[in-house]
Amino acid sequence: MNRGVKDEGNLSATLGVMCSSPLMTDLDHVAAAVRDVTDFPKPGILFKDITPVLGDATLFQSCMKLLADTASGERIDKVVGIDARGFIFAAGVAQNLDAGFVPVRKAGKLPWTTRQMAYTLEYGESVVEIHEDAVKPGEKVLLVDDLLATGGTAAAAIKLLRALEANIVAVSFLIELEGLQGREKLGESIPVHSLLKY
Residues that bind ligand AMP (CB under 6 A): 1-2, 4, 45-48, 82, 85, 145-154, 182
Looking at the Cβ atoms of 4 and 92, the one nearer to ligand AMP is 4
Sign of CA dihedral 196, 79, 2, 119: negative
Do 53 and 60 form a contact (C-beta atoms < 8 A)? yes
How far, in Å, CA of 25 to CA of 15, rounded?
Answer: 11
Q: Of 35, 74, 122, 162, which one is the catalytic site residue? A: 122
Annotated active-site residue 122? The verdict is yes
How far, in Å, CA of 13 to CA of 2, rounded?
Answer: 22
Looking at the Cβ atoms of 114 and 153, the one nearer to ligand AMP is 153
Do 175 and 196 form a contact (C-beta atoms < 8 A)? yes
**Minimum CB distance to ligand AMP, residue 50 (Å):** 8
**Minimum CB distance to ligand AMP, residue 93 (Å):** 15
Looking at the Cβ atoms of 117 and 139, the one nearer to ligand AMP is 117
Annotated active-site residue 85? The verdict is yes
Around Cβ 41, how many Cβ atoms within 10 Å? 8
Q: Which residues are catalytic?
A: 85, 122
